[in-house]
Amino acid sequence: MTDIPSVWHVTREYAGLAEAGGIKDVVRGLAEASVRAGIETSVVLPRYGFLPDTLTRGTPVAEFQISLPDHDRGDQFFDEPVRMFSHVEQGVRIFLVDSPRYASKRNVYTYTEADHASNEWQKPGTGHWDSHQLNLILQRATLETLLAIDEHLAPMPRIIHCHDGHAAFLPAIARELVRYRGRLADTGLVLTIHNAGKGYHQEVWDRGFARLLTGLDPTVLAKGSIGRTVDPLLLAGSYASVVTVSEQYARELLAERADELSGGLGRAFRERGIDLRGVTNGLDPSPWDPRGLAAGLPQRFDPSTGDLAGKRACREALASRVGLSRRATPAPLFAFVGRLTGQKGIDILLEALGSLLSEGAMLQCVVLGQGEAADEQRMAGLARAHAGTLSFVPRYDAELSRLIYAASDFFLVPSAYEPCGLTDFIAQIAGSVPIVHRVGGLVKVRDGETGLSYDEQSAAALGGQIRRACGLFQDHPEVLERIRVTAFNEIFRLHTWDRVLATGYLPEYRTAVERWTLR
């Protein structure tokens, strides 16, 4: 039994239930690793409208009401009835926050086509208008549940682990409101910042509204103020241990000079003396491991030994699905899977691929993902101009993404900034050599050892690495085999969630107990 007997995670996402971004994989991977380590582990998650009714059958473990302001100026309050349901998955107790506002949501963060069909102002892909209320329902429901439930169901947490801005007001509320302070005096608080980019903070633009939302005094909210806004990520730094998802990203945030990386959050951390540390994310390799059945591939193969016959079979299957031509002379296959956004370097990728393909470079490429309409249109146009050589699939498809990872020779990660990055990990497991912009968490890819990397965020730099990769593919296959073997083995040696929990998060939990408990 570990010296951290119990942990509760507070999150808007959880893999297999509510999926939107990388948070889902981190929380599930860390929670299940905690169970394996002997920690009583619970996750508090909204019960969205798209989740099956079977999850909320039976008797709720707690019922209460939460009063919150309904309008931006707080001129009207509503009482949100909440029922908490509980079930266990893979040893993790899942608490579901069942409330009318969450039940009406068809997506985790944004409106859908179905929403737009019933309300034309609810544009697909735009955020929920009541996102602040949704966040506070989750956080207050967590704290109310801790007051209400029997410890035989789930013991009081030694650590409450909050994930991103959606849960970042909780540490201040837990410590400053008398209702919760005594009950949680022995509980340490941890916040993980998964992405500090602009638009990800969940900041409240009016201090008066922030007071009504949280119940916190203006003097408390001032600890989280940046300009006229209240940033919950900054406020949490006065009540919790704050970590982000890689050591390099933590360094980059603290070095921020203005607001180019995080809207001034990093600079505010530095100026207020808030200690920001990094713990590089882990990965559960099993769903991606081409040696096992879980990957669902047409033929298995083993990157750790250089046996890649199955990778060639995967490429044949992929070519048939996405319309890549078969060539008499083998050409390397490059892949990109992700959002088509500026953060992910889609502008750099479009320019680099356009130049290379117009030059007749001996390569093929497949791109899977969605994003801004203009970027999708540009990528689709490039694919039409180079049919058979470049294939673009404008959606996210989990099954197809696994085949792309397994089939590709090289995986492109040209992100402008990247807090951690999991696609490079997945590529390494699949025997696809990652090519990354050396920034944030992507510095874990070592040039010439576990992948290829470049410093300058430009199409010329990315194009140069693609040409280098083509040269290695044609003339130095032994170098690529060495990189693949090293990269594959390193995942299992250093980057599983069991390893990350033991060497990264358990020390952070102990620090939180020492520093942020009240007794």
Task: Evaluate if residue 2 carries a pLDDT over 80.
Answer: no
Q: How confident is the model at residue 124 (pLDDT cuts 50, 70, 90)?
A: confident
Lookup result for tokens 């990800």: 200
Three-state secondary structure of 252-319: HHHCCCCCCCCCCHHHHHHHCCCCEEECCCCECCCCCCCCCHHHCCCCCCECCCCECHHHHHHHHHHH
pLDDT of residue 155: 87
User: Do 326 and 180 belong together in one domain?
Assistant: no
Task: Evaluate if residue 519 carries a pLDDT over 80.
Answer: no
pLDDT tens digit sequence for 353-402: 999 999 999 999 999 998 888 999 999 999 999 999 999 999 888 889 99
User: Do 257 and 326 belong together in one domain?
Assistant: no
pLDDT tens digit sequence for 5-29: 999 999 999 999 999 888 999 999 9
User: Do 69 and 140 belong together in one domain?
Assistant: yes
Average pLDDT value over all residues in the chain: 93
> Is residue 123 a part of any domain in this protein?
no
pLDDT of residue 367: 97
User: Do 396 and 263 belong together in one domain?
Assistant: no
pLDDT tens digit sequence for 397-437: 888 999 999 999 999 999 999 999 889 999 999 999 999 99
Q: What is the DSSP string of 431-496?
A: T-EEEEES-GGGGGS-BTTTBEEESS-SHHHHHHHHHHHHHHHHH-HHHHHHHHHHHHHHHHHH-B
User: Do 166 and 141 belong together in one domain?
Assistant: yes
User: Do 324 and 269 belong together in one domain?
Assistant: no
Looking at this protein, which amino acid is placed at residue 443?
V
CA dist., res. 156 & res. 152, Å (int): 10
Number of folded domains that form the chain: 2
In what order do the strands lie in the sheet containing 433-437? 390-393, 364-368, 333-337, 410-413, 433-437, 452-454
> Is residue 331 a part of any domain in this protein?
yes
Q: How confident is the model at residue 188 (pLDDT cuts 50, 70, 90)?
A: very high
Both tokens assigned to 182 = 């005594």
Share of the chain above pLDDT 90, in %: 82
User: Do 476 and 328 belong together in one domain?
Assistant: yes
> Is residue 52 a part of any domain in this protein?
yes
User: Do 274 and 401 belong together in one domain?
Assistant: no
> Is residue 445 a part of any domain in this protein?
yes
User: Do 162 and 297 belong together in one domain?
Assistant: no
Domain CATH code at residue 142: 3.40.50.2000
User: Do 269 and 304 belong together in one domain?
Assistant: no
> Is residue 303 a part of any domain in this protein?
yes
Helix axes 207-214, 131-148, angle to 10 degrees: 30
Please, how many CA atoms are within 13 Å of residue 250, restricted to the half-sphere of its CB? 16
pLDDT of residue 256: 85
User: Do 407 and 429 belong together in one domain?
Assistant: yes
pLDDT of residue 219: 97
pLDDT tens digit sequence for 257-286: 767 788 899 999 999 999 999 999 999 998
Please answer whether residues 208 and 275 qualify as being in contact, where contact means their C-beta atoms are separated by less than 8 angstroms: no
> Is residue 265 a part of any domain in this protein?
yes
Task: Evaluate if residue 108 carries a pLDDT over 80.
Answer: yes
pLDDT tens digit sequence for 291-339: 987 778 999 999 998 889 999 999 999 999 999 998 766 899 999 999 8
Number of C-beta neighbours around residue 18 at 10 A: 23
pLDDT of residue 73: 58
Q: Which domain holds residue 503?
A: 6-101+131-282+499-516
> Is residue 266 a part of any domain in this protein?
yes
pLDDT of residue 398: 83
> Is residue 112 a part of any domain in this protein?
no
User: Do 162 and 63 belong together in one domain?
Assistant: yes
pLDDT tens digit sequence for 58-78: 899 999 999 999 865 566 888
pLDDT of residue 427: 97
Choice among 99-103, 113-117, 376-380 with the minimum mean pLDDT? 113-117
Identify any residues that bridge with 453 across adjacent strands, giving them in sequence order.
436
